[in-house]
């Protein structure tokens, strides 16, 4: 009995301790018990929350959001991004998979990709996000400090094409009514809060419908009608977004510089190795030519002198060939360097596009 009381007391103490830990601290602790082993990482949790919202009325979900039974597909989720039909099977999905009959659900699964693409194309009404901190169920200090506050947030999509590759990033920032600006991390936390939407007045006076979602996902809020939405963007908010964009572009340029330096260093090392090797061979041939000349001078017979002269001629021919090879290789390396520079110059012409996914007002209860 005493052991049972001690065990219960320890469990209660552990529960109270975790409830008072900030969610970030809990994430770092990652206690390794059976529950923790079955728990999902942050990306997987976001995927399941998004999937729950996107499949509302089309699937039944486990209480712990680690699996669901797909009964039907929303209209428009049967094609991939290229408009090609995609076979998405109905049935049981799990993350991670625990039963053999279930499908493994992950970000790259056609169902997840189809839902994301469908959400990106879905029209949305201009709205205010009313976020319920208590309903979140975990302690997030940075959001707890915003209770009772209102403001505006914006998310933009940054696409950079450079060096033959494409990078995509989300730029997110928020600002409160007092002018305090929050970075992408805080904005991401805001968007992770459950809540509902309140329609904003439209400039054209057209009516809007109120909608409710227990899980607000950025991918579901990306086609606001900005010509009709009354969501002014404060300059400080846009400045925070621009700073994030500048940092990402600067980081990319730094990586491009490193790539260029590595490629030129490879060419230089190859040129040095080639030059050293050929010069060593030429030096050895010079030594053999000198020996042949000495042998020719000391020849006792005409036949010996003739053989020494022929040997000297052959060696000089080999030396001249090596010298031409050295020059040709140096020209080849220079041509490769010129091609690299021209190619990089073309690819360094970055194509940068920025699209506003959504801008909304927010309030934390």
User: 295 or 146, which is more confident?
Assistant: 146
Answer whether residue 61 is part of any domain. yes
Q: Per the omega criterion (within 30 degrees of 0), is the bond before 304 cis?
A: no
Residue 92, SS3 per DSSP: strand
Residues 20 and 149 reside in one and the same domain: no
Tens of pLDDT, residue by residue over 13-62, are 555 555 555 555 555 554 444 444 345 677 888 899 889 988 988 999 99
Answer whether residue 247 is part of any domain. no
Mean pLDDT of 346-353: 78
Tell me the average pLDDT of the chain: 78
Residues 107 and 195 reside in one and the same domain: no
- Tell me which residue range forms the domain holding 225: 123-235+354-364
User: 48 or 8, which is more confident?
Assistant: 48
CA 327 from centroid of its chain's CA atoms: 45
Of 92, 119, 146, at which residue does a domain stop? 119
Which residues lie below 8 Å from residue 202, measured CB to CB, with a gap of 6+?
A: 126, 208, 225, 228, 229, 230
Total number of domains in the chain? 3
pLDDT at 210: 39
Quickly tell me which residue has 């976001």 as its tokens.
46
- Note the pTM of the prediction, 2 decimals: 0.65
pLDDT at 82: 56
Cα dihedral 272/277/281/284 (nearest 10): 90
User: 49 or 349, which is more confident?
Assistant: 49
Residues 287 and 315 reside in one and the same domain: yes
Answer whether residue 242 is part of any domain. no
Answer whether residue 245 is part of any domain. no
Residues 72 and 85 reside in one and the same domain: yes
Count Cα atoms within 13 angstroms, Cβ side, for 25: 11
Residues 132 and 99 reside in one and the same domain: no
Binned at pLDDT 50, 70 and 90, residue 248 comes out as: very high
Answer whether residue 180 is part of any domain. yes
Check residue 221 and report its DSSP letter. S
Residues 205 and 173 reside in one and the same domain: yes
Residues 227 and 282 reside in one and the same domain: no
Residues 188 and 212 reside in one and the same domain: yes
pLDDT of residue 260 exceeding 70:
yes
Answer whether residue 251 is part of any domain. no
Residues 272 and 198 reside in one and the same domain: no
pLDDT of residue 330 exceeding 70:
yes
What strands, in cross-sheet order, belong to the sheet with 67-70?
Answer: 59-61, 67-70, 91-94, 103-104
User: 35 or 293, which is more confident?
Assistant: 293
Residues 104 and 213 reside in one and the same domain: no
Residues 114 and 161 reside in one and the same domain: no
Binned at pLDDT 50, 70 and 90, residue 92 comes out as: very high
What share of the chain in percent tops pLDDT 90? 23
Of 75, 95, 119, at which residue does a domain stop? 119
Answer whether residue 246 is part of any domain. no
Of 119, 151, 177, at which residue does a domain stop? 119
Tens of pLDDT, residue by residue over 155-201, are 999 998 877 788 899 999 999 999 999 999 999 999 988 888 888 87
Answer whether residue 249 is part of any domain. no
Tens of pLDDT, residue by residue over 103-160, are 999 888 989 988 988 887 777 677 899 999 998 888 889 999 999 999 999 999 999 8
Residues 127 and 213 reside in one and the same domain: yes
CB 144 within 8 A of CB 138: no
């Amino acid at each position: 009995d005493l052991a049972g009381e001690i065990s219960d007391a320890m469990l209660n103490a552990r529960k109270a301790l975790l409830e008072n830990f900030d969610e970030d601290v809990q994430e770092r602790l990652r206690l390794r018990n059976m529950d923790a082993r079955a728990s999902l990482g942050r990306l997987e949790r976001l995927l399941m929350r998004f999937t729950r919202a996107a499949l509302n009325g089309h699937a039944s979900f486990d209480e712990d959001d680690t699996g669901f039974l797909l009964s039907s597909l929303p209209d428009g989720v049967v094609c991939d991004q290229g408009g090609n039909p995609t076979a998405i099977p109905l049935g049981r999905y799990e993350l991670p998979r625990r039963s053999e009959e279930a499908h493994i659900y992950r970000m790259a699964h056609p169902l997840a990709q189809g839902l994301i693409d469908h959400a990106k194309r879905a029209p949305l009404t201009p709205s205010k996000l009313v976020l319920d901190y208590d309903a979140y169920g975990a302690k997030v200090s940075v959001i707890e400090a915003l209770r009772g506050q209102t403001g505006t947030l914006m998310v933009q999509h940054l696409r950079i094409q450079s060096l033959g590759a494409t990078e995509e990033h989300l730029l997110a920032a928020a600002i409160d009514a007092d002018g305090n600006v929050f970075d992408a991390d805080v904005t991401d936390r805001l968007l992770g809060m459950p809540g509902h939407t309140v329609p904003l007045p439209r400039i054209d006076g057209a009516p809007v419908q109120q909608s409710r979602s227990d899980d607000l996902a950025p991918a579901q809020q990306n086609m606001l009608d900005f010509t009709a939405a009354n969501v002014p963007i404060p300059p400080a908010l846009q400045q925070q977004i621009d700073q994030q964009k500048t940092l990402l572009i600067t980081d990319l340029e730094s990586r491009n510089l490193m790539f260029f330096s590595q490629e030129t260093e490879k060419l230089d090392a190859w040129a040095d190795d080639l030059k050293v090797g050929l010069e060593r061979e030429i030096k050895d041939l010079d030594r053999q030519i000198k020996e042949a000349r000495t042998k020719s001078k000391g020849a006792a017979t005409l036949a010996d002198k003739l053989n020494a002269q022929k040997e000297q001629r052959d060696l000089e021919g080999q030396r001249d060939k090596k010298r031409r090879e050295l020059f040709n290789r140096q020209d080849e390396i220079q041509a490769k360097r010129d091609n690299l520079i021209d190619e990089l110059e073309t690819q360094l012409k970055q194509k940068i596009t920025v699209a506003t996914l959504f801008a909304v007002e927010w309030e934390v209860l």
